[in-house]
DNA sequence: ATTTATATGTAAGGAAACCTAACATCGTCT
DNA sequence: AGACGATGTTAGGTTTCCTTACATATAAAT
């Protein structure tokens, strides 16, 4: 079992994730609905989250606090996820990318804000795993 | 949040622990009943296990495979838990300790056996935490 | 060879946690 | 005012978990 596997193991119920991230169940499910996280499911269809999922949720929370909207966050997360898939940068994607720039310019002009959560982005996996 | 806290954080449902340890719910609850593990509880009385709890269960499983009984395992785990509390080694404790020796002598004479679980004792926390 | 004790399985009834879907609300942008 | 995005809340249903009790298999003691 390597580290990658460990961090993507489905371990946590939504209740535990709520405490870990201080997000509501509604929020977590809404982010999933918008393709920002992809928790596993039990045989009975209940969500099971991994360390990676929790980290991702903390990141989402952080970016929301900074004024981004979910569409922008999704693009950011996809982008950072690797420069792969560089092939078909369709018009559609181009538009949304332009949108992102606009959003970043428009919304990120009020820097700082506050946005302090119980756990910070990346902290969970740093704490619990070996890299 | 230090490492000790991390490892004792109540995180896992019994369902997750079952998969992690390959023990049945019955077994896990029975070990708790016999004071071998002490999982937390949610507000609604459902068990929540920490990394330490899971490690402990793996250790129990290992020792059971080696032929020890729960009483012996309990003594072993308490003993290794620190040489503190050395004060009142009551007659009662002495007897049970003598008992343990006997059990160890009697039952541990068939060494090896097999006892290979999915995860080995201590492995979980080694994998998931930084020490 | 019974009896006794230990460890585990299984079933029943109930409670907690979770699920989806729908509607409500609140703030921001147009 | 209206539309949209993000979240709250509620309802009805399902899954998971709880305790308790009884059954069983193996090993130990009588």
Distance CA A41, CA A56 (A): 17
Would you state the structure tokens that stand for residue B131, as one six-digit string?
A: 């020490």
Protein chain A, residues 72-131, with a C-beta closer than 7 Å to any atom of nucleic acid strand D: none
Has residue B83 got a pLDDT over 80? Answer: no
CATH of B3-122, one of 1.10.150.240, 1.10.1660.10, 3.40.50.970, 3.90.340.10: 1.10.1660.10
Q: Where are the domains of chain B?
A: 3-122
Are A6 and B129 a contacting pair at CB < 8 A? no
Distance in angstroms: CA B20, C1' C18:
21
Q: Which of B16, B21, B51 to mutate to test the interface with A (most CBs of A within 10 A)?
A: B16
**Three-state secondary-structure class, residue B127:** helix
What confidence score (pLDDT) does residue A125 get? 61
How far is the alpha carbon of A126 from chain B, nearest alpha carbon, in Å? 9
Alpha helices in chain B (DSSP H): 3-7, 14-21, 25-33, 51-65, 70-80, 91-107, 123-128
DSSP H or E run through A101 = helix A91-107
Distance in angstroms: CA B60, C1' C2:
32
* CATH architecture observed for domain A3-128: Orthogonal Bundle (1.10)
Instruction: Please write the tens of the pLDDT for every residue from A74-122.
Output: 999 987 766 545 444 454 454 455 455 555 544 444 443 333 345 665 5
């Amino acid at each position: 079992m390597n580290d990658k596997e460990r961090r993507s193991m489905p371990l946590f119920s939504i209740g535990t994730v709520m405490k870990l991230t201080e997000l509501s169940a509604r929020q977590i499910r809404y982010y999933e609905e918008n393709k920002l996280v992809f928790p596993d499911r039990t045989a009975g269809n209940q969500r099971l989250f991994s360390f990676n999922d929790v980290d991702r949720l903390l990141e989402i929370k952080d970016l929301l606090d900074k004024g981004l909207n979910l569409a922008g966050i999704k693009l950011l997360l996809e982008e950072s996820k690797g420069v792969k898939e560089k092939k078909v940068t369709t018009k559609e994607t181009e538009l949304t990318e332009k949108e992102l720039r606009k959003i970043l310019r428009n919304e990120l002009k009020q820097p700082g804000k506050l946005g302090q959560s119980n756990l910070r982005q990346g902290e969970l996996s740093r704490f619990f795993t070996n890299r």
